[in-house]
């Protein structure tokens, strides 16, 4: 009798377990997932995120709905990554701050590392990019879905900067990335690490004198309201990653995972085209607003910035650095 009772109890436990350890279902409505980023709603990141959300809903037949939160509503970049690690944030669009979670990403932030847009694409969409995504998953438990392109980072200030000498004493906001801090010090500035959400007010009150970001990011954040000049330094050809919480990924069933990955690829094509199409229009709008664009001789800036390359290559990954440099 006791033996039979034990068998019945085990069977009951297995049934209960199966009810809980199962793929997500939509009996009680769609699965709601959250995507956070730090840019404004006019930025290509946001428009790309909305496209991704639209595609996920379409490809899952409404089983998953992605809610997009702009302008640091879910926190700054570090908050978003930490949220993904524990599953409180499902998707995010981080970039340089990834180096705080997997240090070799710091190499990607070295000014004048990439020769041009094509070089960046060849790196990110080739073997090096695949290795970087896998290493991030292994070391930080964040799944890199796709790299999104950005236009080059440019410097803004309330005075013209035409040579590295003009950077002396200039307090410039930089991301919390050692490679960026060191490079701006080498170029002559006084770098001030700061979350981007604090930048506008810090420029407005004189806590900092300058910042650097791609044109679209600068414009969508209204930096033109507190900065007069934009120097076309093209110092970083960069990226943003459409990343996903591994906790969330493991909650989804196989068809849902496939739908998310397909949506990520299609949203990447959309964002990559949009970001470069928009730049000329945004520059014209900034000129009409009163922003003065300054063409600079990049050679002296590049020479100064490259003086720190060897140190960071040796610190964070000589092999990775050489692979990037040697990519056609």
Predicted confidence (pLDDT) per residue in 92-133, tens digit:
999 888 988 999 999 999 999 999 999 999 999 999 999 999
Structure tokens at 209: 């004198």
Which of 12-21, 23-32, 236-245 shows the lowest per-residue confidence on average (mean pLDDT)? 12-21
Q: How confident is the model at residue 47 (pLDDT cuts 50, 70, 90)?
A: very high
Q: How confident is the model at residue 60 (pLDDT cuts 50, 70, 90)?
A: very high
- Distance from C-alpha of 38 to C-alpha of 76, rounded to nearest angstrom: 6
- Distance from C-alpha of 41 to C-alpha of 322, rounded to nearest angstrom: 37
pLDDT score at 86: 97
pLDDT at 140 over 70: yes
pLDDT score at 40: 86
Q: What is the mean pLDDT of residues 228-233?
A: 98
Structure tokens at 14: 């297995």
pLDDT score at 83: 98
| Cα 151 to chain centroid, rounded | 13
Phi, psi of 7, rounded to the nearest 5 degrees: -65, -45
- Distance from C-alpha of 48 to C-alpha of 269, rounded to nearest angstrom: 9
pLDDT at 225 over 60: yes
Q: What is the mean pLDDT of residues 38-44?
A: 89
Contact 199, 113 (CB under 8 A): no
Q: What is the mean pLDDT of residues 309-327?
A: 96
Residue 252 vs residues 84, 122, 215, 240: alpha-carbon distances, Å: 15, 31, 37, 24
Tokens 């004493």 sit on residue: 169
Kindly tell me the burial class for residue 304, based on how many C-beta atoms sit within 10 Å of its own C-beta (0-12, 13-18, 19 or more). buried
pLDDT score at 20: 34
pLDDT at 237 over 50: yes
Q: How confident is the model at residue 178 (pLDDT cuts 50, 70, 90)?
A: confident
Q: What is the mean pLDDT of residues 187-197?
A: 94
For all residues of the chain together, what is the average pLDDT?
91
CB-CB neighbours of 162 under 10 Å: 13
Q: What is the mean pLDDT of residues 272-294?
A: 95
Contact 60, 256 (CB under 8 A): yes
pLDDT at 77 over 60: yes
- CB burial readout 108-131, b (16+ within 10 A) else e: bbbbbbbeeeebbbbbbeeebbee
Starting at the edge strand found earlier in the chain, the sheet holding 210-214 runs 190-193, 171-174, 210-214, 153-157, 229-236, 292-295
Structure tokens at 240: 């943003």
Q: How confident is the model at residue 27 (pLDDT cuts 50, 70, 90)?
A: low
pLDDT score at 176: 83
Angle at 63 between CA 61 and CA 65, to 5 degrees: 105
Q: What is the Rg, in whole angstroms, of the alpha carbon atoms belonging to the chain? A: 23
| Cα 145 to chain centroid, rounded | 12
- Distance from C-alpha of 252 to C-alpha of 23, rounded to nearest angstrom: 6
């Amino acid at each position: 009798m006791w033996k039979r009772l034990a068998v019945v109890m085990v069977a009951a436990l297995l049934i209960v377990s199966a009810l809980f350890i199962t793929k997500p279902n939509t009996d009680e409505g769609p699965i709601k997932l959250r995507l956070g980023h730090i840019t404004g709603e006019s930025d290509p990141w946001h428009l790309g995120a909305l496209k991704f959300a639209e595609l996920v809903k379409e490809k899952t037949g409404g089983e998953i709905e992605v809610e997009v939160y702009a302008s640091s509503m879910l926190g700054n970049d570090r908050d978003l990554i930490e949220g993904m690690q524990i599953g409180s944030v499902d998707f995010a669009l981080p970039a340089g701050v990834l180096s705080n979670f997997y240090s070799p990403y710091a190499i990607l932030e070295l000014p004048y590392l990439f020769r041009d847009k094509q070089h960046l694409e060849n790196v990110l969409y080739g073997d090096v990019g695949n290795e970087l995504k896998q290493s991030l998953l292994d070391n930080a438990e964040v799944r890199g879905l796709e790299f999104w392109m950005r236009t080059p980072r440019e410097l803004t200030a309330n005075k013209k900067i035409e040579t590295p000498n003009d950077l002396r004493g200039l307090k410039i906001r930089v991301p919390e990335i050692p490679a960026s801090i060191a490079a701006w010090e080498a170029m002559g500035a006084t770098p001030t690490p700061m979350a981007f959400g604090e930048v506008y007010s810090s420029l407005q009150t004189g806590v900092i004198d300058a910042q650097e970001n791609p044109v679209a990011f600068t414009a969508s954040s209204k930096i033109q309201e507190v900065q007069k000049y934009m120097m076309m330094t093209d110092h970083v050809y960069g990226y943003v990653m459409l990343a996903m919480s591994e906790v969330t990924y493991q909650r989804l069933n196989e068809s849902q995972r496939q739908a998310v990955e397909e949506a990520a690829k299609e949203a990447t094509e959309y964002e990559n085209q949009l970001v470069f199409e928009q730049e000329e229009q945004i520059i014209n709008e900034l000129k009409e607003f009163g922003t003065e664009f300054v063409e600079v001789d990049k050679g002296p800036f590049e020479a100064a910035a490259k003086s720190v390359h060897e140190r960071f290559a040796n610190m964070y990954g000589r092999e990775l650095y050489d692979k990037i440099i040697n990519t056609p």
